[in-house]
């Protein structure tokens, strides 16, 4: 059966301390996934809905201007590109507060604003930039991404 920790988790799943660098690498990888979602445009929005499309983005991004985006695993160009997308998404979040209706009505109303096309293009550009470097390991500290 293997070694089990006191909480009942197999040893391989036991929580462990990770370095700030490894956290930065993982967050950068999650940001790439966010950009993939934005790149999906209307199709992605229709899959997850308006609330998750907006709120899911801010699970990995600071919402307030007082919280600058900083990540040691990102280049300055990546930080600037991601910050630009973040600014767009802050505008979407503020302007979409009045969107009401059922699931499909909310989606159609958000699409009608034009925000989906703008964020799709910005997300795609940022994704291309970040993918050009690749993905970092989720388990080992790296100075540069090892997976393309």
Range of the domain at 36: 19-133
So what's the pLDDT on residue 9?
47
- How open is the CA angle 110-57-31, to the nearest 5 degrees? 135
State the average pLDDT over residues 118-124. 97
pLDDT of amino acid 2: 46
Residue from 16, 17, 13, 20 nearest 141 by CA: 20
Would residue 144 count as lying in a domain? Answer: no
In a domain, 146, yes or no: no
pLDDT recorded at residue 136: 96
H-helix segments, the chain: 20-39, 41-57, 76-95, 103-112, 115-133
Structure tokens at 94: 């503020």
Confidence of residue 66 (pLDDT cuts 50, 70, 90): low
10 belongs to a structural domain: no
Has residue 12 been placed in a domain? no
Is residue 90, in this structure, part of any structural domain at all? yes
pLDDT, one tens digit per residue, over 84-103 is 999 999 999 998 888 888 99
The confidence band for 3, taking pLDDT boundaries of 50, 70 and 90, is: very low
User: For residue 9, is it within any domain?
Assistant: no
Indicate the number of domains in the chain.
Answer: 1
Q: In whole angstroms, give the CA distance from residue 144 to residue 82.
A: 18
């Amino acid at each position: 059966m293997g070694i089990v920790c006191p909480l009942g988790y197999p040893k391989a799943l036991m929580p462990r301390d990770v370095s700030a660098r490894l956290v930065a690498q993982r967050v950068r990888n999650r940001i790439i996934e966010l950009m993939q979602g934005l790149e999906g445009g209307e199709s992605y929005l229709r899959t997850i809905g308006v609330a998750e499309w907006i709120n899911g983005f801010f699970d990995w991004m600071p919402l307030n201007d007082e919280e600058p985006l900083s990540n040691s695993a990102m280049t300055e160009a990546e930080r600037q590109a991601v910050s630009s997308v973040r600014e767009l998404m802050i505008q979407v979040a503020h302007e979409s507060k009045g969107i009401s209706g059922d699931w499909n009505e909310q989606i159609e109303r958000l699409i009608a604003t034009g925000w989906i096309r703008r964020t799709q293009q910005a997300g795609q550009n940022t994704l291309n930039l970040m993918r050009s470097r690749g993905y970092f390991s989720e388990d080992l500290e790296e100075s540069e991404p090892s997976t393309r």
